[in-house]
Amino acid sequence: MEIAIIGSGYVGLTTGACFAEVGHSVTCVDNNAVKIETLLAGEIPIYEPGLEDLVKKNVAAGRLRFTTSTEEGVAAGKIVFIAVPTPPQPDGSVDLSFIEKVAREVAAVIKDYRVIVDKSTVPVKTGEKVAETIKRYAPEGVEFDVVSNPEFLREGCAVHDLMNPDRIVIGANSDRALALMQKLYEPFVAPVLVTDINSAELIKHAANSFLALKISYINAVSALCERCGADVEKVAEGIGRDSRIGDKFLNAGIGYGGSCFPKDLAAFIAISDQLGVPFNLLKEVQNINAGQLDRFVDVIREALWVFREKRIAVLGLTFKPQTDDVRCSVAIDLIEKLVAEGAEIRAYDPKGMEKAKELSVTSKITLAPSALEAIDGAEALVIATDWPEFAALDFNEVKRRMVAPLIFDGRNLLDPGTMAQLGFTYRGVGRGRCVAGS
């Protein structure tokens, strides 16, 4: 099938490449001419494992093309996806101005029947507003349908998640649109859940908020573990073996970040308030998440007494491993707190260095070319992102380079017993008290 995707960012580009991979003909549109030039030059503006090969292969096969022209995209694609940003507003509600703008642009060029698909994460009842907007600005008599088709991709494994979805959610109020969407997704082996538009929109926010809730739950348990000396990793394993709970998203740490959870949670809370049903449970999820980082900084301060003029090595800048994305990264929040108290930070990240340089806080710290060079002369080592390569460091060399063998593991990446045997004073999250070096 011929499809168009308007918005060629993390979601749009990855979705387009995957649709091309299963045989569809895809036109990716973006109003950022530099981004389109980069893509036309065969370069990928984001780091996403497997994406570069997928894009190059499908461009070469003639199934994937790029343009800045919405008209070209709408003319080419029977199904037109909207995958533009829906950033948060200061009060947590969603800024839908990009969605509204694209709806008007599509309306201006639509000439015959099209299915307009909300792929972006949008508040419930956005589909209705998109339909009203297109109706208002489209030529008289042009037929179209609006569909909600939320994505559930995780950064760092987006290609995998799109090619192997747990489920495909299609919110449609028209059989004609539904038939086209089911044909589009035929090549994917996954259960297709057909709902009304509002339910499909709500599924996205409800899913992300539940995942964030699960993380804050285990993080709240980690605070208890630190008081009673229990090990949150054992508790997580013990509860996760219950198939009704599941072992995923029970990794205690310094909290969730990224461009989705904080935004989607705030949006869901705002929507609930607007609908007159305040979602207080989710407000507590946010509080626990913020408290997790504060408690971790308290633990470091307790050990160092004073941060001023202390050199602290921070490993990890991205909000999670296998991505270059530093948006809403708790690692960056952590560095900002340490810098605010006068610490001298040397930081390293395998993929996030370039994107981190765009952040103001990095002008106040040293970005080291390697983990070991970040560790040189450090009074303490903080692990802020669970990149596997940090666990593979030569900790004898690490100890040699540090002023004192003090490790604060914000992602429980390392084994406390091993660290103690190596002579480190180790503190994780929810792993009981400091494990004094032997």
Residue 132 Cβ, how far from ligand UDX at the closest point, in Å? 27
Is residue 430 a contact residue for ligand UDX (CB under 6 A)?
A: no
Shortest approach of ligand UDX to residue 335 CB, angstroms? 15
Work out which of 98, 152, 185, 188 binds ligand UDX, going by CB under 6 A: 152
CB of 293 to ligand UDX, least distance (A): 11
Clarify whether 28 is annotated catalytic: no
Map residue 16 onto helix, strand or coil. helix
| Best CA proximity match to 315, nearest among 378, 364, 383 | 383
Cα separation, 255 vs 262, whole angstroms? 10
Nearer Cβ to ligand UDX (57/154): 154
| Residues in binding contact with ligand UDX, number by CB under 6 A | 19
User: Among 8, 208, 216, 412, which residue interacts with ligand UDX (rule: CB under 6 A)?
Assistant: 208
Task: Output the smallest distance, CB 155 to ligand UDX, in A.
Answer: 4
**Does residue 408 belong to the site contacting ligand UDX (CB under 6 A)?**
no
Query: Are the C-beta atoms of residues 160 and 129 closer than 8 Å to each other?
Result: no
Which residue number, 65 or 320, has a Cβ lying nearer to ligand UDX? Answer: 320
Choose the stretch contacting ligand UDX; rule: CB under 6 A; options: 39-47, 227-235, 251-259, 269-277: 251-259
The one among 125, 154, 160, 295 contacting ligand UDX by CB under 6 A: 154
> Residue 89 and residue 266: Cα distance in Å, rounded?
9
Q: How many CB atoms lie within 10 A of CB 244?
A: 5
**What would the 3-class secondary structure string for 104-143 be?**
HHHHHHCCCCEEEEECCCCCCCHHHHHHHHHHHHCCCCCC
Helices (H), 275-327: 280-304
Q: For helices 126-137 and 97-109, give the axis angle rounded to 10 degrees.
A: 40
CB of 249 to ligand UDX, least distance (A): 4
CA distance 205 to 269: 10
What would the DSSP string read from start to end of 380-392?
A: EEEE-S--HHHHT
User: Annotated catalytic sites, by residue?
Assistant: 260
Contact residues: ligand UDX, CB under 6 A: 151-155, 208, 211, 215, 249-251, 253, 256-258, 260-261, 319-320
